[in-house]
Amino acid sequence: MKKLRSSIVLKSISGIILMLIVFSLIVCVIGYREFTEELLDQYADGAFIAAETSAMYVDPESLDLVEAEGEKAEVYRTTWQELDRVCNLTGATFIYVIRPDLSDYGHITFLYSTILDGTPYEHYEFGYVRETTNQDYRDKYRALYEGRSDRELVIRDKGYIETDHHITAMIPLRDSAGQTQGILCVQRQMEGLSAARRGYVNKVIVTMIMLAIIVCYGQSVYLRRMLLDPVRVITREASRFARENVHTGKKLRDSISNEDEIGLLADSIDNMEAKIQTYVEDLTRATAEKERISTEMSMAARIQAHMLPDVFPAFPDRKEFDIYAVMDPAREVGGDFYDFFLIDEDHLCLAIADVSGKGVPAALFMMVAKNFLEEDMRQGCSPSEAMERLNALICSNNPDQMFITVWLGILEISTGRLTAANAGHEYPILKQGSGPYEEIRDKHCMALGAMEGIRFKDYELTLTPGSRLFVYTDGVPEATDGQEKMFGVPRLLETLNQAQEETPQRTLGHVRQAVDTFVGEAEQFDDLTMLCLELH
């Protein structure tokens, strides 16, 4: 049943039948009105002809005598016979002469009254007085008596009517002085009009039903041949292709001969299948290539991760300090790095850096920079000397204009003296003893690779027992939430001070949780790297 209701043929036929019904109703209403008005005109003309003929046999001058003597007057009998003859010859239902009450026209008195032979109605006796039927009659009586009208017509086809639907033609009976002495009325029943109207309506209904049957059959055959069968062929092919996703090589256009929109649809389906087949083949190759690249990128990420110190505790036999670091790239691989290693038993090298850009180029650049820095520091260079050597190397061959910010330091473990240099990197954060975390505004130099011949400077800090050093890349303070607000250094300091007594590992976890909570569902746009050292 549901499939039948959704049929295109049924919908099309239903729409046509609905339009046919609306059109038939409009035609029926217009024809009904025109037909009724024409018949009413004919009825009215016949009634007025009968009234004018009857008026020839009524002497207005004698109406006073008739009203006084009634049926005894000789003129009454003669006139009544003529009116009765006219009534039966013209087919009028009633012909009668009345005199209304001129004070308010609320009552009428019958002087003459005849009736068509064989009708079921009864005529009014001479002198019968009755109330005027309604205000319409009163107004017409008044118009005839006051000389404002020479004829009036009343149509009664609504509401309760004693003698069925009828019309009444009225003319004034005027004497030689032009005064109205009475009103002659001719009433004709409208059985013929009603029957004709019923016949008209019945013919329209029968015609509409026959047209509906013809249209249903013809339209169903036409739609099935020109629309439904081709659409079914297209639907089957579309379902098959969606299920198998394989182009058979046979075109729909070979089975559909339509040159209309159905034919265009078949051409479109053929083109779509060919393009999808090509797209699927290309996508299969691209997916295989993407999986290969993804595998290689995962391998690169593992290689990069293993190039950074990733075993903790890093120095389990050294109780003088504790160190922990993390690096979370924005992509599979990143351009940030951290590093720490013992140069000798009393000197610990610390480094954190951020390469411009992201992805594989930044990762390759990072690995080269890390290796050169570590090599120079192990050979006894100071932080500033190692930076100058790396800057010269980068500037000598840097076609992509990449640069790197670095914070590099050497901690003398026995004394707590820290010698460091800063090449455009974020300021370190230091907590001395039991004091709070504070930002150290150290001396900044330009980033490595920005310009040849840059001179870098070392500076010194002294860490007391219990001190903690926190260094990081710009991915931490520049982490952005959905409203484009950054995490910021003030919020970072507040977060660190909430974890003053925590170990370096727990401190970094606390900072990362705070950053994740702040960012929410927003995407991570930059690498996020942190390193924390606690001197015991």
Encoded tokens for 419: 């010698």
In a domain, 349, yes or no: yes
In a domain, 51, yes or no: yes
Domain identity same for 190 and 319: no
**pLDDT-flagged residues of the chain (< 50):** 4
In a domain, 520, yes or no: yes
In a domain, 255, yes or no: no
Of the three residues 179, 195, 211, the one that is the final residue of a domain is 195
In a domain, 229, yes or no: no
CB 447 within 8 A of CB 404: yes
CB 449 within 8 A of CB 390: no
Domain identity same for 159 and 17: yes
In a domain, 375, yes or no: yes
Q: Provide the domain count of the chain.
A: 2
Q: At what angle do helices 359-378 and 261-307 cross, to 10 degrees?
A: 10
DSSP 398: -
C-alpha to C-alpha distance for 369 and 390, rounded to whole angstroms: 7
Encoded tokens for 511: 């900072």
In a domain, 283, yes or no: no
In a domain, 476, yes or no: yes
- Model-level pTM? 0.50
Of the three residues 195, 226, 244, the one that is the final residue of a domain is 195
Task: State which residues form the domain around 416.
Answer: 309-535
DSSP string, 255-271: T----SHHHHHHHHHHH
- The pLDDT, as a whole number, for residue 208 is 74
- CATH number of the CATH domain containing 466: 3.60.40.10
Of the three residues 165, 195, 225, the one that is the final residue of a domain is 195
Taking only the tens place, the pLDDT of each residue in 34-62 is 766 777 778 788 889 999 999 999 999 99
C-alpha to C-alpha distance for 44 and 420, rounded to whole angstroms: 123
- CATH number of the CATH domain containing 78: 3.30.450.20
